[in-house]
Amino acid sequence: MEPSRRGDASYYRDDLALVHHLGFGFHAEACAPGMLRILEPVRRRHGLVVEIGCGSGLLTGYLVAAGLHVVATDASEAMLQLARSHVAGAADIRPLTLPLDPVPAADAVVGVGHALNYLDEERQVEEALAAIATALLPGGIMAIDLCDLQWGASRVNQPPRIWRAHDWVLMTEFSVPAPNRYVRVMTTFVRQDDGSWRRDDERHDNILIDTARVPELLERHGVAATVSRSFGDEELPPGLMAIVGRKIG
């Protein structure tokens, strides 16, 4: 199978997108309360929130339910289709692939599920962070999660894992081929209407970065940011960091 490439729709094709939607909503659910607290000033002033890497709309649903105006974006058409039915017309849902596509000007840019770690090179992650910072209006807020080098260090020799539900199975092998690389080789089986099972395979190559460098990088683009272990009271997995910042100029 061809490895996935930056901005290539081969990340999260139909079946893995569906499996993510059905089985992996816990991260967005855990992050939502902290994210909503961070976004409260934006909600009060009826500001616009741009969500990057919205996936199937799992966080989007919480943002919209809280009364926020949301433009939810993702690189995967399969994810966007799921988001359109999950959030049912309550948000503007559109394709946006970082770092190539412009990020709309916004009072907040948010995202969970480490979309930026799907880029090929650290330089592209920096470009994406710069694009997010530039999109923020004065006083605007950013809140995204990002996998640190610690993500890989804490997952060396991670054993393979199988998740099963009634209508789907996900089998994953993990590797850390370099301190800044995390690879998942995933096979999905999804039950079809006629009772047969369809197989698909995806390989996800994540780039890991030293998140301690991020505040200085964002400062160059007018955003004062901190790196911390959570958006609120949730416990993020080891090596996943919350980057929260405010546009100061």
Ligand X SMILES: C[S@@+](CC[C@H](N)C(=O)[O-])C[C@H]1O[C@@H](n2cnc3c(N)ncnc32)[C@H](O)[C@@H]1O
Using CB under 6 A as the binding rule, whether residue 106 contacts ligand X is answered as no
Contact set for ligand X, span 21-50 (CB under 6 A) = 27-28
Binds ligand X by CB under 6 A, chosen from 30, 49, 50, 59:
59
Q: How many C-beta atoms lie closer than 10 Å to residue 197's C-beta?
A: 12
Give the nearer residue to ligand X in terms of CB position, either 8 or 167. Answer: 8
Binds ligand X by CB under 6 A, chosen from 115, 143, 218, 241:
115
In whole angstroms, how close is the CB of 204 to ligand X at the nearest point? 9
Using CB under 6 A as the binding rule, whether residue 113 contacts ligand X is answered as yes
State how far the Cα of 226 lies from the Cα of 246, in Å rounded to an integer. 9
Helices (H), 99-147: 122-135
Q: How many C-beta atoms lie closer than 10 Å to residue 103's C-beta?
A: 21
* Binding-residue pattern over the window 178 to 217 for ligand X, x denoting contact by CB under 6 A: ----------------------------------------
Instruction: Identify the DSSP state of 209.
Output: B
Give the nearer residue to ligand X in terms of CB position, either 70 or 219. Answer: 70
Give the nearer residue to ligand X in terms of CB position, either 23 or 138. Answer: 23
Binding part of the chain for ligand X, among 68-76, 85-93, 194-202, 222-230 by CB under 6 A, reads: 68-76
Binds ligand X by CB under 6 A, chosen from 32, 36, 71, 112:
112
Binding part of the chain for ligand X, among 93-101, 136-144, 205-213, 240-248 by CB under 6 A, reads: 93-101
- Using CB under 6 A, count the residues that bind ligand X: 24
Nearest to 230 by CA among 72, 27, 24, 21: 27
State how far the Cα of 199 lies from the Cα of 188, in Å rounded to an integer. 6
Nearest to 188 by CA among 53, 22, 77, 58: 22
Instruction: Identify the DSSP state of 239.
Output: T
Quote the distance between the C-alpha of residue 188 and its chain's center. Answer: 20
State how far the Cα of 167 lies from the Cα of 57, in Å rounded to an integer. 21
Q: How many C-beta atoms lie closer than 10 Å to residue 210's C-beta?
A: 13
Binds ligand X by CB under 6 A, chosen from 64, 91, 118, 132:
118
Using CB under 6 A as the binding rule, whether residue 129 contacts ligand X is answered as no
Using CB under 6 A as the binding rule, whether residue 13 contacts ligand X is answered as no
Using CB under 6 A as the binding rule, whether residue 7 contacts ligand X is answered as yes
In whole angstroms, how close is the CB of 242 to ligand X at the nearest point? 13
Helices (H), the chain: 14-23, 26-44, 58-65, 77-86, 122-135, 149-153, 214-219
> In which element (H, E) is residue 104 found?
none
Q: Which residues pair with 94 in a beta bridge?
A: 73
Give the nearer residue to ligand X in terms of CB position, either 48 or 98. Answer: 98
Residues that bind ligand X (CB under 6 A): 6-7, 11-12, 27-28, 52-55, 58-59, 74-76, 79, 96-98, 112-113, 115, 118-119
